[in-house]
């Protein structure tokens, strides 16, 4: 599996991981205070996320469980926003560059644009479901855990099951490998033109991003939420 270092300089990793917090706000919509060079986020958690970006084999998930579920949730939510408002538009911009350079008639461009539009729809829907169902449910659990026994009971929504949600929570990053196949199918042995190279790089990076994101969702957030649900029961 490719790692971050294949795409960018390690010294930029910190910037990449932290830039998603720049527009981050708390659950009341208030922007987080910037603290020195940090961004209102636990520096130890940032450190651990950086480790995950460098290598996710044998990653010690239990180390992440010492942070509050709220911190993990805030991180994942900031990441969603980062994909929707920054990463997807950047990739689309690259497609526009390819379009300007090669024109509409280029067969590879047509395939890529078609593939990517389709992919974007799926990714947005994946994020929408998490933001609509899973995350608010977990926020309710968190709130309830701070309140009275009565409030605790009403938080447990019998119509929503974390386990069922997770069963339907399929990986969204694997399909992105299709992009490099599409490009090499058309370019054959010829060197890949630069605009396509840039596009492929951005897509490969998004693939890596989504893989790390899914690890935190599936192996950190969900077990913590199930644990919290059990405690409230």
Please give the full DSSP string across 47-74, using - where no structure is assigned. HHHHHHHH--TT--HHHHTTS-HHHHHH
Helix then strand then coil, % of the chain, to nearest 5: 70, 0, 25
Spatial contact of 51 and 4, defined as CB atoms under 8 Å apart: no
Q: Which is nearer to Fe ion, 193 or 223 (CB)?
A: 223
CA–CA distance, 88 with 152 (Å, rounded to integer): 39
- Least distance to Fe ion from the beta carbon of 179, Å? 20
CA–CA distance, 37 with 39 (Å, rounded to integer): 7
DSSP 31: B
Spatial contact of 17 and 53, defined as CB atoms under 8 Å apart: yes
Q: Which is nearer to Fe ion, 82 or 196 (CB)?
A: 82
Total of residues contacting Fe ion (CB under 5 A) = 2
- Least distance to Fe ion from the beta carbon of 47, Å? 22
- Least distance to Fe ion from the beta carbon of 186, Å? 31
CA–CA distance, 175 with 86 (Å, rounded to integer): 20
The number of helix segments (H) and strand segments (E) in the chain equals 12, 0
Residues 153-212 close enough to bind Fe ion by CB under 5 A: none
- Least distance to Fe ion from the beta carbon of 105, Å? 37
Residues 77-136 close enough to bind Fe ion by CB under 5 A: 130
Q: Which is nearer to Fe ion, 45 or 183 (CB)?
A: 45
Q: Which is nearer to Fe ion, 76 or 141 (CB)?
A: 76
For the window 214-233, what string marks contact with Fe ion as x by the rule CB under 5 A? ---x----------------
- Least distance to Fe ion from the beta carbon of 44, Å? 22
CA–CA distance, 207 with 177 (Å, rounded to integer): 8
Q: Which is nearer to Fe ion, 44 or 125 (CB)?
A: 125
- Least distance to Fe ion from the beta carbon of 20, Å? 13
Q: Which is nearer to Fe ion, 130 or 229 (CB)?
A: 130
- The token pair that represents 60 in the structure block: 């010690």
* Residues of this chain that bind Fe ion (CB under 5 A): 130, 217
């Amino acid at each position: 599996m490719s790692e971050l270092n294949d795409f960018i300089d390690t010294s930029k990793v910190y910037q990449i991981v932290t830039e998603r917090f720049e527009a981050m706000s708390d659950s009341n919509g208030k922007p987080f205070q910037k603290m020195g060079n940090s961004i209102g986020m636990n520096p130890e958690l940032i450190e651990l996320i950086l480790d995950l970006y460098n290598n996710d084999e044998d990653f010690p998930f239990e180390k992440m469980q010492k942070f509050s579920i709220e911190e993990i949730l805030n991180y994942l939510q900031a990441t969603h926003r980062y994909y929707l408002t920054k990463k997807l538009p950047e990739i689309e911009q690259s497609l526009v560059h390819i379009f300007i350079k090669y024109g509409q008639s280029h067969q590879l461009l047509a395939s890529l644009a078609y593939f990517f539009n389709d992919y974007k729809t799926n990714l947005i829907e994946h994020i929408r479901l998490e933001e609509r169902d899973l995350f608010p449910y977990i926020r309710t659990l968190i709130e309830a855990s701070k309140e009275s026994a009565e409030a605790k009971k009403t938080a447990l929504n019998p119509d929503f099951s974390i386990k069922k949600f997770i069963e339907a929570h399929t990986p969204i990053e694997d399909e992105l490998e299709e992009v490099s196949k599409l490009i090499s199918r058309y370019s054959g042995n010829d060197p890949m033109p630069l605009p396509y190279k840039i596009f492929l790089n951005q897509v490969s990076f998004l693939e890596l991003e989504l893989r790390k994101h899914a690890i935190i969702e599936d192996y950190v957030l969900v077990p913590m939420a199930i644990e919290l649900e059990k405690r409230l029961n």
